[in-house]
Amino acid sequence: MRRKLLLGNWKMNKLASEAKEFAISSKPLVQKAKDAGIDIGVAPTYLSLQAVKENASSDMIVAAQNVHQLVSGAYTGEVSIPMLKEFGIDWVIIGHSERRTYDNETNAKCNAKIKALISNNMVPVYCVGETLVEFEGGLTKEIVGTQVRDGLKDLTAEEVKNLVVAYEPVWSIGTGKNASTEIAQDICHFIREVLRELFGEVADEIRILYGGSVKPENVKAYLSCEDVDGALVGGASLKIDSYEGLLLNIL
Ligand code: PGA
């Protein structure tokens, strides 16, 4: 049985003081989620990780939005796994489309980061998804299939057990043009079949999220899809009321 997962991606939003305020207000919500057997979390900027970790319930998943695969060295502007671990962070979003678009995050780079995270017993949330041009060209499965295969190259079934995959069509992120539930189910099912081909029956344990213009009004429809185990939510996760709305609608 896969537990439902609701993860907010704050991107480059919120001062640490605002993140702290959110974390404090989120405590009753996290308790509600726990009581209902739902995993819930947020991914703040690096600078707000500590504020959220220290002020939210210990059941709140606190994820970083990126990490470098090496432990230390001359990589200006980067943050490593031991640096996150020192703050008790063990979840990291990898390969978000904004990082693929603006920071040249390739499938190979994602693969190196995912391997480094897994070997440190951390949980990667690996994002995949096609652009509008690829979608319109009927290339979604080809693109997403390659992202899954290349991003998870040389890993074993045992290693990917705790991995989370997020299907986020690039054309639906922050645009209000969310994919239909039929598309979300079709592609999440396709991802599970690729995972099955690569890793066997562990594919049934891996959680697959949908992301892209998820709001309190449509979250339930996505989570009713058989292969959609949760949501990765940007804009609608920023305000506590809307974050609460997301949760209340899937309880
Ligand atoms: P959005 O972002 O919910 O604002 O569309 C989703 C994401 O980028 O993870």
* Pair 236, 7: CB distance under 8 Å: no
User: Cα(125)–Cα(65) distance, rounded to whole angstroms?
Assistant: 9
Q: Which of 167, 213, 215 to mutate to test the pocket of ligand 1 (most atoms within 8 A of CB)?
A: 213
- Three-state DSSP at 127 gives strand
Q: Is residue 49 scored above 90 in pLDDT?
A: yes
For strands 39-43 and 61-64, give the pairing: parallel
CA dist list (Å): 10 to 3, 5, 52, 53:
22, 16, 12, 15
Ligand 1 atom index nearest CA of 236: 3
Interacting residues of 159 by C-beta distance below 8 A, sequence separation 6+: 118
Q: Assess whether pLDDT exceeds 90 at residue 162.
A: yes
Among 92, 126, 173, residue to substitute to test ligand 1 (most atoms within 8 Å of Cβ):
173
Q: What is the pLDDT of residues 3-41, one digit of tens each?
A: 999 999 999 999 999 999 999 999 999 999 999 999 999
* 217 three-class SS: coil
C-alpha 205 – ligand 1 centre gap (Å): 24
The number of the ligand 1 atom at minimal distance from the alpha carbon of 237 is: 3
Pairing of strands 230-233, 39-43: unpaired
> Which is the closest atom of ligand 1 to the Cα of 172?
5
In the prediction, which pLDDT does 101 show?
Answer: 96
What is the reported pLDDT for 174?
A: 86
**Of the candidates 7, 62, 1, 3, which has an alpha carbon nearest to the alpha carbon of residue 35?**
3
Mean pLDDT of 121-131: 98
Residue 177 is predicted with a pLDDT of: 87
Structural contact between residues 92 and 64, judged by C-beta atoms closer than 8 angstroms: yes
Q: What is the mean pLDDT of residues 182-207?
A: 98
Range 95-104 contact pairs with CB under 8 angstroms and sequence separation of 24 or more: 95/126, 95/127, 95/128, 95/147, 95/151, 96/9, 96/65, 96/66, 96/127, 96/168, 97/127, 97/129, 97/168, 97/170, 97/173, 98/11, 98/173, 99/65, 99/66, 101/170
Residue among 9, 10, 131 to mutate when testing ligand 1 (max atoms within 8 A of CB): 9
Query: 147: which residues sit within 8 A by CB, 6+ positions away?
Result: 95, 107, 110, 128, 129
Lining ligand 1 with CB less than 6 A are 9, 168, 173-174, 211-214, 232-236
| Average pLDDT rounded to a whole number, residues 223-231 | 98
**164 pairs with which residues across the strands?**
125, 207
**pLDDT tops 90 at residue 130:** yes
- The predicted model scores a pTM of 0.98
Distance CA 149, CA 157 (A): 13
Query: What distance in angstroms lies between residue 211's CA and the mean position of ligand 1's atoms?
Result: 6
What Å distances lie between residue 194 and 99, 100, 202, 246, CA to CA?
Answer: 23, 21, 12, 29
State residue 178's pLDDT score.
Answer: 87
Residues 196-225 pLDDT 10s: 999 999 999 999 999 999 999 999 999 999
How confident is the model at residue 142, as a pLDDT? 98
pLDDT in tens, 50-108: 999 999 999 999 999 999 999 999 999 999 999 999 999 999 999 999 999 999 999 99
Are the beta carbons of 14 and 238 closer than 8 angstroms? Answer: yes
Ligand 1 centroid to residue 74 C-alpha, Å: 32
Q: Which domains does the chain have, with CATH numbers?
A: 5-248 (3.20.20.70)
| Protein residue closest via CA to atom 7 of ligand 1 | 234
